[in-house]
């Protein structure tokens, strides 16, 4: 909410300077984002009148003007503005004046003609951001000779307050004045709103088909208006200082009343309406062209204002072009309605809109305000565009939300605040907030005012009392509790250690959104089921992630599109699997790599990352637990990974993750050129380990034997190694794969794998007979299970 300080002080004017006033509002929970001066610094500018205008003798685009600046003698000025005309009131910078950016006005000659001063445009005075096309023409009643800065009240400030969604009652000068009055104990003086008597019988029939969404609707005719009239300067200035541009008197008045009182209104061109007004839900297939030119297809949950020809406006959001007001409009139909917050909530966002009206209706507008807003708008319109008002026609009014009645217990209040507020202070604060208070045995029974949609339970009242009493006046007490140290399980390694380990291997941590594009998720995990967001930030972030892969791929593509050629990213976080009523949320650790293996340098290799680079990183993570022997890599298929370069990770017999190259078709769909490798593992499996134990070193010699087997190319080396360890006995201390060979001497479709096996007994020397028996068992089982042939 942005408003003029001078406007606020017409309602309530505490004895506080601008910044202390802003601080008071902030300390009460309404954070002031900015306090800015209304006008830039300038001096020496007065209101003047152009009394004569003649063409410049030596320049086609210049005029020589005589200006009355109130000094008694006409002043000659050369002006190049195309809109300067005799009889205009204008801002005039005298000789010696200083304009923004320290621009000083001096006597000058322009093409041989003396010029003593300057007629100013709005942008030259800092009143508009964009450069003005001509001079700033003032109203006819502007007093000649008056200091322009004082007359325009430019020593004013705009105050911008960042309101929380529950404080929709402060989205108006009226609401802010009410709040300031409560905080400073000052009286609030509202402008008088007198009923405007009807001068004609003209009215328009209105029916409400969904009374639970629109409990109250007021309509009024205003005939024979002149919308070619100009909006008064005082009104346009207040709108400008509130961040709203002027359009035409009808729109300006509805915007002004919305800012002043908090009630959005809408004006229709009566001659464009057919039959009666209906407040109803849109039918499937109906569409509407909005005032901003956007064509929208309406859904059956959208509340609309319609007539016999179809929808005219999205209720509480925006009107349509077909019934919009133009300068040729002669008769107005003015709408002031109360739409329930749930009827409007989310509607604007569904159509990619956010309007001042929807912003207010979504948070709650005072249902008792519509009549005052209608009378105020009618009076302002008549004073600007004339016209003859018809009677105010009200429809509904019998389904307004009931006032909340709440019991506030003395004991509960004291316990929450930590201090016993005097009863008279409690009652005074509540009364100043507009809350009706009745004293009961254990405290108070209150009735919330119609404009406070956020007061519904006892805690809301306690919050209000703390806020108005002053948070800084509440006692400061340190909480006391008996806190036991959380157990630190040595066998469990912290996630931070896994992160630091990946960083030490050249990875950088990525943090992506937990919600992703449904299209990307369907490409990565087609069979996945995860919750959809009811109110997403955007359409490409509308489902909860089933895997870390979509977010990592998006981050990787973001970097590739910015000429990063070597990427190593990891991320830790929750994934969401299943429907809401059966949702699993495991914590995962994932990573993605692409590009060259080494950082660019004169001695660096230029080889690209491959599957085994990533597998080595994952194995190093697994090794941190000290239980590498419990892990297996098994060739299985994943829809997002390359069928020939993909493995599933098992801890014992439980699947806990995936590793592999990005599937070529998915890589092509995403437009990624380099090969990408991904992994994703359950954090619980990675952090679980065992406590390190010391094993005495044997003083007896090791025995090593090297074996080479010829096996089918598709045979899993991991499975072979597992079999070797099973058969090699308890004294095997190391089994190392040191060579894989295909080529001359090995038949096509086969490969040779060479293993180094090392044994060591803790208390004696092993003899050849024992070793030979173990080797025989290894050779026999590898032959049985894998059809392996010992290579000589």
For residue range 383-430, list pLDDT tens digits in order: 999 999 999 999 987 778 888 899 999 999 999 998 899 999 999 999
- Mean pLDDT, all residues of the chain: 91
Is 2-38+156-184 assigned to CATH 1.10.760.10? Answer: no
Higher pLDDT, 316 or 692: 316
Packing angle, helices 249-261 and 173-184, rounded to 10: 20
pLDDT of amino acid 400: 84
DSSP state for residue 16 in the 8-state scheme: -
The answer on pLDDT for 461 being more than 80 is yes
Domain boundaries, the chain: 2-38+156-184, 43-151, 206-396, 406-472, 495-687, 703-790
Q: 17: which residues sit within 8 A by CB, 6+ positions away?
A: none
Please check whether the two domains, 43-151 and 495-687, share a CATH topology.
Answer: no
Q: Structure tokens of 608?
A: 């690209």
Place 303 in a pLDDT band, splitting at 50, 70 and 90.
very high
pLDDT of amino acid 606: 80
Distances (CA, A) of 205 to 202, 224, 277: 10, 19, 6
| High-pLDDT (> 90) share of the chain, % | 65
Tell me how many degrees the CA angle 200-268-258 measures, rounded to the nearest 5. Answer: 100
Exposure string of 306-324, with b = 16+ CB inside 10 Å and e = fewer, is: bbeebbbbbbbbbbbbbbb
Place 499 in a pLDDT band, splitting at 50, 70 and 90.
very high
DSSP state for residue 6 in the 8-state scheme: H
Query: Is the distance from CB of 128 to CB of 240 less than 8 angstroms?
Result: no
For residue range 552-581, list pLDDT tens digits in order: 999 999 999 999 989 999 999 999 999 888
The answer on pLDDT for 714 being more than 90 is no
Long-range contacts of 457-462 (CB under 8 A, 24+ apart): 457/406, 458/406, 458/407, 458/408, 458/409, 458/412, 459/416, 460/406, 461/406, 461/408, 461/430, 461/435, 462/408, 462/412, 462/413, 462/416, 462/417
CATH architecture type of domain 495-687: 2-Layer Sandwich (3.30)
- What CATH number belongs to 406-472? 3.30.56.10
- Regarding the domain delimited by 43-151, which CATH topology (the fold level of the hierarchy) does it fall under? OB fold (Dihydrolipoamide Acetyltransferase, E2P) (2.40.50)
Q: What is the mean pLDDT of residues 471-479?
A: 83
Quote the CA–CA distance of 767 and 785 in Å, as a whole number: 28
Quote the CA–CA distance of 452 and 434 in Å, as a whole number: 9
The answer on pLDDT for 123 being more than 80 is yes
The answer on pLDDT for 709 being more than 80 is yes
CATH architecture type of domain 206-396: 3-Layer(bba) Sandwich (3.50)
For residue range 513-550, list pLDDT tens digits in order: 999 999 999 999 998 889 998 888 888 889 999 999 99
pLDDT of amino acid 109: 87
- Helix (H) or strand (E) segment spanning residue 785: helix 768-786
pLDDT of amino acid 752: 92
Quote the CA–CA distance of 395 and 92 in Å, as a whole number: 53
Quote the CA–CA distance of 686 and 682 in Å, as a whole number: 7
Which residue from 361, 371, 349 is spatially nearest to 316, judged by alpha carbons?
A: 361
Query: Is the distance from CB of 731 to CB of 760 less than 8 angstroms?
Result: yes
Which residue from 704, 702, 703, 705 is spatially nearest to 790, judged by alpha carbons?
A: 705
Q: Of 352-356, 396-400, 715-719, 746-750, where does mean pLDDT reach its minimum?
A: 396-400
In CATH terms, the superfamily for domain 703-790 is Ferrodoxin-fold anticodon-binding domain (3.30.70.380)
pLDDT of amino acid 487: 79
pLDDT of amino acid 677: 96
For residue range 133-157, list pLDDT tens digits in order: 788 889 888 999 999 999 998 888 9
pLDDT of amino acid 257: 96
For residue range 43-92, list pLDDT tens digits in order: 899 999 999 999 988 888 899 999 999 888 899 999 988 899 999 999 99
The answer on pLDDT for 129 being more than 80 is no
pLDDT of amino acid 691: 82
């Amino acid at each position: 909410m942005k408003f003029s300080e001078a406007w606020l002080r017409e309602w309530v004017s505490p004895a506080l300077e601008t910044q202390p006033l802003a601080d008071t509002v902030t300390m009460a929970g309404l954070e002031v984002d900015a306090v800015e001066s209304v006008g830039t610094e300038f001096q020496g500018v007065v209101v003047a009148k152009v009394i004569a205008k003649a063409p410049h003798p030596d320049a086609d685009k210049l005029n020589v003007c005589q200006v009355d600046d109130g000094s008694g003698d006409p002043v000659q000025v050369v002006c190049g503005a195309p809109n300067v005309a005799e009889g205009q009131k204008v801002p005039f910078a005298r000789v010696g004046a200083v304009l923004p950016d320290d621009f000083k006005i001096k006597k000058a000659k322009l093409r041989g003609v003396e010029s003593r001063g300057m007629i100013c445009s709005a942008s030259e005075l800092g009143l508009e951001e964009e450069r003005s096309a001509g001079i700033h023409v003032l109203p006819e009643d502007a007093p000649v000779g008056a200091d322009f800065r004082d007359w325009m009240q430019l020593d004013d400030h705009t105050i911008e307050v960042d309101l929380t969604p529950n404080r929709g009652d402060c989205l108006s000068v009226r609401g802010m004045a009410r709040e300031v009055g409560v905080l400073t104990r000052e009286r609030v003086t509202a402008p008088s709103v007198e009923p405007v008597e009807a001068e004609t019988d003209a009215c328009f029939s209105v029916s409400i088909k969904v009374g639970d969404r629109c409990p109250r609707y007021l309509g009024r005719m205003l005939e024979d208006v002149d919308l070619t009239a100009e909006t008064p300067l005082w009104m346009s200035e207040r709108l400008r200082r509130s961040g709203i541009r002027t359009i035409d008197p009808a729109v300006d008045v509805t915007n002004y009343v919305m800012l002043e009182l908090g009630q959005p209104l809408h004006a229709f061109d009566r001659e464009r309406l057919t039959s009666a007004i209906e407040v109803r839900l849109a039918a499937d297939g109906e569409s509407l062209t909005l005032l901003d030119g956007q064509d929208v297809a309406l859904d059956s949950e959208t509340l609309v204002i319609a007539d016999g020809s179809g929808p005219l406006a999205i209720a509480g959001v925006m009107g349509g072009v077909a019934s919009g007001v133009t300068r040729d409009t002669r008769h107005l139909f003015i709408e002031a309605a109360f739409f329930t917050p749930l009827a409007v909530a989310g509607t604007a966002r569904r159509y990619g809109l956010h309007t001042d009206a929807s912003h207010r209706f979504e948070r709650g507008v005072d249902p008792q305000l519509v009549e005052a807003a209608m009378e105020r708008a009618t009076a302002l319109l008549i004073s600007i565009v004339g016209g003859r008002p018809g009677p105010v026609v009200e429809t509904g009014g019998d389904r307004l939300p009931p006032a909340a009645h709440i019991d506030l217990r003395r004991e509960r209040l004291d316990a929450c605040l930590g201090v016993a507020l005097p009863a008279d202070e409690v009652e005074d604060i509540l009364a100043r907030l507009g809350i009706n208070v009745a004293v009961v045995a254990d405290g108070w029974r209150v009735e919330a005012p119609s404009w406070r949609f956020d007061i519904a339970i006892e805690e809301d009242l306690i919050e209000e009392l703390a806020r108005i009493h002053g948070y800084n006046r509440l006692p400061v007490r340190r909480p006391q509790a008996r806190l036991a140290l959380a157990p630190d399980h040595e066998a469990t390694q912290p996630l931070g250690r896994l992160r630091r380990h990946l960083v030490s291997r050249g990875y950088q941590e990525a943090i992506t959104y937990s919600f992703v594009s449904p299209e990307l998720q369907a490409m990565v995990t087609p069979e996945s089921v995860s919750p959809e967001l009811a109110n997403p930030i955007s359409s490409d972030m509308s489902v909860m992630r089933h895997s870390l892969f979509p977010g990592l791929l998006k981050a990787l593509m973001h970097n590739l599109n910015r000429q990063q050629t070597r990427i190593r990213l990891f991320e830790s976080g929750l994934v969401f699997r299943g429907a809401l009523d059966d949702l699993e949320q495991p914590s995962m650790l994932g990573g993605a790599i692409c590009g060259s293996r080494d950082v660019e340098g004169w001695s660096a290799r230029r080889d690209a990352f491959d599957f085994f680079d990533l597998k080595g990183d994952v194995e190093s993570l697994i090794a941190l637990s000290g239980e590498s022997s419990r892990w297996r890599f098994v060739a299985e298929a994943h829809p997002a990974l390359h069928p020939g370069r993909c493995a599933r990770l098992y801890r014992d017999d439980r699947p806990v993750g995936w590793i592999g190259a990005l599937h070529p078709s998915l890589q092509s769909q995403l437009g990624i050129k380099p090969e990408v490798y991904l992994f994703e593992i359950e954090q619980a499996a990675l952090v679980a380990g065992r406590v390190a134990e010391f094993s005495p070193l044997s003083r007896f010699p090791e025995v090593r034997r090297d074996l080479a087997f010829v096996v089918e190319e598709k045979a899993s080396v991991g499975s072979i190694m597992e079999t070797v360890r099973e058969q090699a006995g308890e004294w095997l201390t190391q089994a190392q794969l040191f060579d894989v060979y295909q080529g001359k001497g090995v038949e096509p479709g086969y490969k040779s794998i060479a293993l180094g096996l090392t044994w060591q007994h803790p208390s004696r020397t092993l003899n050849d007979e024992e070793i030979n028996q173990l080797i025989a068992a290894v050779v026999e089982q590898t032959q049985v299970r894998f059809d392996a042939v010992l290579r000589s």
